[in-house]
Amino acid sequence: MTARKRRIGILDLLTRNPTRALYARIMNANLASIMPQAVAAWCEQDGHDVTFATYSGFEDLAQELPPDADVVFIGGFTQSAQLAYALSNLFRSRGAVTVLGGPHARAYPEDARRYFDYVLGFTDHGTIREVLQDCSPHRPLGLVLSAPGQPLALPGVRERWKFIELTLRKAPVLNIVPMLGSLGCPYTCSFCVDSVVPYQPLDFAVMKDDLRFLRTKFRRPRVAWHDPNFGVRFDACMEAIEEAVPPGSIDFLAESSLSLLTEPHLRRLQKNGFKAMLPGIESWYDLGDKSRTGRRRGMEKVRTVSDHVNMILRYIPYVQTNFVLGLDADEGPEPFELTKRFVAMTPGAFPGYSLLTAFGVSAPVNQEYQRADRVLPFPFHFLNNNEAMNVRPLNYSWPEFYARVADLTAYTFSWRAVANRYRAGSAFIPRWMNVVRALSSEGSGRVRHHRDVLRRLGTDAQFRGYFEQDTTTLPPFYVERIRQDLGPLWEWVPEGALEHELDAVPRARAVN
C-alpha cells in the first residue's frame, strides 16, 4: 500500500560547521553520500513531493528545507550529530516528523532516538515506505528500524541525477560523482563497521548504464566509488567498466585494500582511468591480511609496504595511505618512527592519519573497549577520527600519545615533506591537491590542534582529569568549540545532547 502524498525534505550533512576554507569550497560538495539521493529518488518514485538539500558549510541551514515539510530525512556522520539533533529540534518545532539515517544512526541508535522520530539502520525502499506509511511523531523515544540486511539494489546515477546535479553545482573546480559497485566486505578488520556485513556486488547492468549515462553529461566524468573495499570481484568489475566505456574515458577514485592492488590489477586499473586509490595500511604491527604482508611486522613491513605503494604510484597518480594511530598492538616510539620512515621512503603518497575511535555499536571491537572501561564520552561533534580520540590507548599515557601524534603530524606536513611530495607527484592535480591539503585544516591545522591538546594536558588539571576519566564534566574548551561551530543553531541543541551514554554493549543488538 502506498502512503498518501507527503511533503518531504531530505538533507545530506556533508560537514558539521560553517566554513570559508578553500579546500572545503573545492571538495565539500564532492563528499556527498549516495543514500540521501537514493531516498530522494525512492520518495519521488512513490509520488511524494521532495525537496533535496546538502549542507557543505556555506548555506543557511534553516532556509534550506520548506517550512511546511511533513517529514524531514537527515543523513549524517557522528561528527554532525549535534548539528543533526539541533536541526531535528528545529524542524519538529515547525511540525515535521524527523528521520535520521547514515553512519551516526548505525553507530548510536539509542542516543539518536532521543531526538528523532525514526532512526534507520540498514535502509531499503521498503524501510522508507514503512516510515512514510506510519509518518507519526514517536516521542520521547523514536522508532529504531532496520531492513534485514543491506539493500539488494539502489537507484543508479541516472535515477539520482537530479540530486547529483544539484549537489555538484556547489563544486566549482572538481566535479566528482558518487557510485557504488558493492556493499559489505569479505575482510574482518574488527574496528570496521563492514567487518560483519557480508560482501555483495550490486547489479553490473545498472553500473554499466550509469557509466554510459555519465559520458553524456560530462566531457570527462570523474567517479568516486563509495564501495567499502573496491574491486573484491576484480575481474567482473573491470569487465563491466570495459564493456561500458572506452578505456580511460572516465577518471575513477576508489578505496581498496593493498592485497587487491597487485601489479597486473594496477595495469588494468591504469588502462581504465583509475586516478586515485586510498589503501588502508592501518598499523605496522597488526592487520597483515589486508595489506598482504602476512606475518611481517615493524621495519620489514614498512619496506614491503613502501615498495608496494611506490609501485602503485607508477600506475596511479594519487595515492592516500590510511593509518590508524593508537591501536592496541602499538607500543613505544617505534610505530610512529616507522611511519616517519615510511613517509620518507614513499614521498609520492599522502598519509591519512585517523585516531583510534570507537563509534558506538558500529564495530565489534568497540564492545571490548567498552568492557575494559576505555571509552571516553567525548561529544560526537569531535568524533571524526582526528579531533578527539575516545579510546584510552592501551600502551601510552595521554601526554606521551599526543606528543607522538603531534610530532608525526608535524613531520608529515613539514615544508620539507610537502616539497618532497610535490616533487614526487606525477601530475598537476595530485601535486597541488597534496599541497592544499597540507596547508589546510587537515595538515597544519591538525598539527596546531594536537599541540594544543598536548599543552592543555600538561597545564589544565580539569582537561587532563577528563582524559583520565576522573571526571565526566566536559572541559569548557570543547563546549565553546561546539557553540562556535553551530552558531545560531546552538540554541536549538536539545537539553543534554552534548552528553551520551556509553552502554554500547547491550545496544549492539538494537540495529543490524
Binding site for ligand SF4 (CB under 6 A): 185, 187, 189, 192, 194-195, 228-229, 257, 280, 290
Query: Is 31 among the residues that bind ligand B12 (CB under 6 A)?
Result: yes
For 496, phi then psi, to 5°, come to 80, 0
CB of residue 26 vs ligand SF4: minimum separation in angstroms?
Answer: 26
A 10 A CB-CB count for 82 gives 26
Interface residue with ligand B12 among 272, 366, 385, 412 (CB under 6 A) is 385
CB of residue 291 vs ligand SF4: minimum separation in angstroms?
Answer: 10
Nearest to 238 by CA among 215, 220, 256, 214: 256
**Site mask, ligand B12, residues 103-132, x = CB under 6 A?**
xx-xx------------x-xx---------
Q: How far is CA 39 from CA 18, 205, 393, in A?
A: 25, 21, 39
Query: Is 223 among the residues that bind ligand B12 (CB under 6 A)?
Result: no
Alpha-carbon dihedral sign for residues 250, 253, 257, 258: positive
Of all helices (H) and strands (E), which one includes residue 287? none
Distance CA 56, CA 12 (A): 9
CB of residue 464 vs ligand B12: minimum separation in angstroms?
Answer: 25
Of all helices (H) and strands (E), which one includes residue 319? strand 318-325
- 362 or 434: CB nearest ligand B12: 362
| Choices 367-375, 384-392, 418-426, 451-459 (CB under 6 A): range interacting with ligand B12 | 384-392
For helices 34-45 and 125-134, give the axis angle rounded to 10 degrees: 60
Q: Which of residues 131-160 bind ligand B12 (CB under 6 A)?
A: 150-151
Q: Which residue is nearest to ligand B12 (CB)?
A: 101
| Choices 41-49, 69-77, 365-373, 491-499 (CB under 6 A): range interacting with ligand B12 | 69-77
**Site mask, ligand B12, residues 163-202, x = CB under 6 A?**
-----------------x--x--------xxx--------
For 326, phi then psi, to 5°, come to 100, 15
Interface residue with ligand B12 among 78, 367, 412, 512 (CB under 6 A) is 78
Query: Is 33 among the residues that bind ligand B12 (CB under 6 A)?
Result: yes
Distance CA 47, CA 105 (A): 26
**Helix/strand/coil percentages in the chain, nearest 5:** 45, 15, 40
101 bridge partner residues: 75
Distance CA 243, CA 459 (A): 62
Helix (H, G, I), strand (E, B) or coil at 15: coil
Query: Is 347 among the residues that bind ligand B12 (CB under 6 A)?
Result: no
CB of residue 277 vs ligand B12: minimum separation in angstroms?
Answer: 12
Distance CA 276, CA 266 (A): 11
CB of residue 254 vs ligand SF4: minimum separation in angstroms?
Answer: 12
- 72 or 245: CB nearest ligand B12: 72
- Residues forming the site for ligand B12 (CB under 6 A): 14-15, 31-36, 39, 73, 75, 77-79, 101-104, 106-107, 120, 122-123, 150-151, 180, 183, 192-194, 226, 228, 255, 359, 362, 384-386
